[in-house]
């Protein structure tokens, strides 16, 4: 399914970005752009994307630089701040004017920054279980970043796999959803000698709340309609962060999904699609 989602290679600032565009059949209602988070890639949208296209929306998505099947260049800045210009370049590449952005985890942080810092208007912004304020990284990852990065990056393959498996199972309320082929799909890009080093260099090293804290006082400046969708049982980004966002973003709509965790698209894809389509239908062209 992921191979069907990522249908093109785009060169942005000399780096290859794995991307995909999926036009709706007939007259499209709007253009949607999907942004994934960490430790993730476009695979997380596999249940959502086809349903949105079937609902009449043009769909665009890509793997962030340093993630998934996009290039993982040595020395490149793949922080939340650095991903912002890549998003803007992708929108220009696709020729999108006033798209709807739907973003998860650190993708949501990228989306918030775009809505506040970039001059090009959005039709709407939907954030799903995102990193915000000083909600990230966890104390465990802070410790790893501060003093154990090299030892973790060089740990035995089996120990690393166990670490990531435990972390990934925390992303879902129903842990049976993070087993077998699904678990392997999430582990694949960050496993093996290259994948493990890339995970720490391109993802963990850039877990830094300054990128969200520096815009926290400007959330009221977001000019487009905002929807917040959150898993009630999110163990990585507990529900109180969603409620704080809803309070600080004027007019934001908050939809809480019961019995669902941080990887909401795994626990409750039907609910995600329902909330998205309902909200998008309320946004004026």
| 77-124 residue pLDDT tens | 999 999 999 999 999 999 999 999 999 999 999 999 999 999 889 999
Has residue 285 been placed in a domain? no
Which pLDDT tens digit goes with each residue over 4-51? 899 999 999 999 999 999 999 777 789 999 999 999 999 999 999 999
As a whole number, mean pLDDT of residues 142-146 equals: 81
CA distance linking residue 215 with residue 130, whole number of Å: 14
CATH of the domain at 92: 3.40.50.1820
User: How far apart, in whole angstroms, are the C-alpha atoms of residue 48 and residue 251?
Assistant: 25
Cross-strand pairs, 253: 227
Does 51 reside within a domain?
yes
**pLDDT attached to residue 281:** 93
Please report the pLDDT score of residue 3 as a whole number.
52
Q: Note whether residue 176 is domain-resident.
A: yes
Going by pLDDT thresholds of 50, 70 and 90, the confidence category of residue 1 is very low
Give, in order, the Cα–Cα distances in Å from 128 to each of 68, 111, 194, 236, 247: 19, 11, 29, 12, 16
Domain count, the chain: 1
Q: How far apart are CA 118 and CA 110, in angstroms?
A: 11
| Domain-located, residue 97 | yes
| Res 73 pLDDT > 70 | yes
Instruction: Tell me the torsion sign for CA atoms 77, 235, 136, 83.
Output: positive
Q: Which domain holds residue 6?
A: 2-280
* 94 to 33, 58, 80, 89: CA distances (angstroms): 10, 11, 21, 9
Cα angle value 137/220/135 (rounded, 5°): 10
Taking alpha carbons only, the member of 19, 3, 21 closest to residue 86 is 19
CA distance 214 to 205: 18
Is the backbone of residue 162 left (phi > 0), alpha (psi -120 to 50) or beta? alpha
Angle in degrees, 0-180, between the axes of helices 106-117 and 80-94, rounded to the nearest 10: 70
């Amino acid at each position: 399914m992921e191979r069907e989602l990522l249908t093109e290679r785009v060169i942005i600032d000399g780096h290859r970005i794995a991307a995909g565009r999926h036009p709706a059949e007939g007259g499209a209602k709007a253009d949607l752009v999907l942004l994934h988070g960490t430790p993730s890639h476009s695979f997380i949208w596999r249940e959502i994307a086809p349903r949105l296209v079937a609902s009449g929306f043009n769909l665009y998505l890509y793997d962030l630089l340093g993630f998934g099947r996009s290039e993982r260049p040595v020395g490149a800045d793949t922080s939340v701040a650095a991903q912002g210009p890549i998003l803007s370049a992708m929108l220009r590449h696709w020729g999108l004017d006033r798209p709807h952005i739907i973003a998860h985890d650190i993708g949501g942080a990228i989306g918030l920054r775009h809505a506040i810092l970039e001059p090009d208007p959005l039709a709407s912004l939907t954030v799903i279980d995102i990193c915000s304020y000083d909600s990230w990284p966890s104390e465990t990852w802070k410790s790893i970043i501060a003093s154990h990065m090299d030892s973790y990056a060089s740990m035995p393959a089996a120990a690393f796999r166990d670490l990531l498996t435990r972390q990934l199972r925390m992303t879902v309320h129903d842990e049976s959803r993070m087993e077998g082929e699904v678990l392997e799909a999430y582990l694949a890009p960050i496993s093996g000698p290259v994948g493990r080093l890339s995970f720490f260099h391109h993802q963990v090293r850039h877990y830094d709340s300054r990128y969200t804290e520096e815009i926290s006082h400007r959330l009221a400046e977001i000019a487009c309609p905002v929807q917040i969708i959150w898993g009630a049982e999110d163990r990585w980004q507990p529900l109180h962060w969603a409620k704080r966002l809803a309070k600080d973003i004027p007019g934001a709509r908050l939809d809480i999904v019961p019995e669902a965790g941080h990887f909401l698209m795994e626990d409750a894809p039907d609910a995600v699609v329902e909330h998205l389509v309902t909200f998008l239908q309320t946004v004026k062209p």
